[in-house]
Amino acid sequence: MDFDLSDDQRLLKDSVDRLIADQYGFEQRKKYMREPTGYSAAVWDQLAELGLLGLPFEETLGGFGGGPVETAIVMEAFGRGLVLEPYFATVILGGGLLRRTAPAAVLGALAPRVAAGKLKLAFAHIERHSRYNLNDVTTTARKDGSGYVLDGAKSVVIHGDAADQIFVTARLAGDRRDREGIGLFLVDAATPGVSRRGYPTQDGQRAAEITLTGARVAADAMMSENALPAIEHVVDEAIAALCAEAVGAMQCMQDLTLEYLKTRKQFGRPIGSFQALQHRSVDMLVELEQARSMAMFAAVMAAEDDPVERRKAISAAKVQIGRSGRHVGQEAIQLHGGIGMTTEYAVGHYFKRVTMIDHLYGDADTHLTHLARLGGLFGKAA
């Protein structure tokens, strides 16, 4: 398999790398975190100018026409910068749901606005009891006249407090964990009956608790009556993107640790000259490269139409990313000593982000269980 980047992909990589280098130094990031929105509006505008917000959309919709590989290129760079802007929520989750569920008229109206940075999206799906089960939905949608009434609560909606419109899942029929009967609605955040409570997460990002109490939406707000297959595909694409982001963060932890080992002196010489610490840094590199390989595999397989084969690849990648992220992060903190635990130093922030990525849409143990039920990466389900 050819892993070389095409000319367009190299141009994309160069442009996003320059943006991160120019706009996302560690001190700059801390300043962005203090903004009322928790991110930089100026950087968001630059993402739009570079065409990154239109990455998954066709050129006829004002987009870039990129796929999972192009997304991985962008997300790895964002992982290095610990980017705070709502790119994942708007472009990857929201954009993915638009492409896979929205009628052509809705897609044609909204995709150019997303690409221009004029519309932010979020995906309200997780409920407090659902854990990592995508078909565990108790929020309800009741037909009422020409529209629907939504009731329920959604938790940890990534950048839900910044979104202009929110994709909301609600059960139209069936019991709590039935795969059928899960509808998907696109709801304006200002709809009466929709309340949001935003808060910062441990990794410096933002999330929201969203409550729907008699929220009335029009019939054309429904994007799909049986949305779970599309949701599963979008979540698989999102996991592949998160794997790439985690690799970027792990790369920075590795780089910071090597630099520290070269400059920190003990007993009159750099601590990197001690063989035991050299072995540990090599172990970090091995874990990083294993994670990078699996992230590349996930990016390639995210476009796979066969849901079983796609899920095997995504779960295998998520297992490796979780394990490698934990190893690289723990070693980075330990080899830095006390300074690695301080909020004034970058390495701890990278470890927090990688830890959060491990828990988004299923941690390593959860995906290992999924993979075993599917018969392993190259086997068949029992």
Give me the mean pLDDT over the 78-101 stretch.
98
Helices and strands in the chain: count of H runs, count of E runs: 12, 10
User: pLDDT digit string (tens) for 193-244?
Assistant: 999 999 999 999 999 999 999 999 999 999 999 999 999 999 999 999 999 9
Containing H/E element for 143? strand 140-144
How many whole angstroms separate alpha carbon 210 and alpha carbon 70? 31
Q: Which pTM value belongs to this model?
A: 0.95
Same domain, 253 and 320: yes
Judge whether 106 lies within some domain: yes
Number of Cβ within a 10 Å radius of residue 208: 24
Q: Are 213 and 109 within one domain?
A: no
Start-to-end Cα distance in the chain: 30
State which of 91, 119, 147 marks the end of a domain: 119
- The whole-number pLDDT of residue 382 equals 57
Based on the structure, what is the number of domains in the chain?
A: 3
Question: Residues 103-125: what's their mean pLDDT?
Answer: 97
Judgement on whether residues 51 and 181 belong to the same structural domain of the protein? no
Instruction: Report whether pLDDT(41) > 70.
Output: yes
Task: Decide if pLDDT at 273 tops 80.
Answer: no
The whole-chain average pLDDT of the chain stands at: 95
Range of the domain at 38: 7-119
> Is-contact 63 232, C-beta < 8 A?
no
Same-domain pairing of 169 and 293: no
Structure tokens at 244: 């790439």
CATH at residue 244: 1.20.140.10
Residues 107, 134, single domain; the answer is: no
Q: Is residue 295 part of a domain?
A: yes
Give the Å distances, CA to CA, from 358 to 55, 81, 254, 278, 370. 24, 18, 18, 27, 15
Q: Specify whether 208 is located in the same domain as 282.
A: no
Residue 148 maps to a domain? yes
167 and 291 co-located in one domain: no
What percentage of the chain has pLDDT greater than the value 70? 99
Q: What is the pLDDT of residue 338?
A: 84
So what's the pLDDT on residue 271? Answer: 77
In one-letter notation, the amino acid at residue 68 is P
Q: What is the pLDDT of residue 268?
A: 82
Looking at 225, 243, 264, the residue that finishes a domain is 225
Euclidean distance between CA atoms 60 and 108, whole angstroms: 9
Residues of the chain by 3-state class (helix, strand, coil), percent to 5: 55, 15, 30
**3 band by pLDDT with thresholds 50, 70 and 90:** low
Torsion of CA 362, 366, 372, 378, to 10 degrees: 30
Is the domain of 239 the same as that of 207?
no
Going by pLDDT thresholds of 50, 70 and 90, the confidence category of residue 64 is confident
- For 334, half-sphere exposure in the C-beta direction (CA atoms, 13 angstrom radius) is 10
CB within 8 Å of 334: residues ≥ 6 apart: 340
**Res 381: pLDDT:** 64
Residues 251 and 158 in one domain: no
Q: CA angle, corner 182, sides to 133 and 137, nearest 5?
A: 40
Dihedral (Cα; 224, 228, 231, 233), 10-degree rounding: -120
In this prediction, residue 270 carries a pLDDT of 85
Average pLDDT (11-27) is: 95
The residue to which tokens 């929220």 are assigned: 215
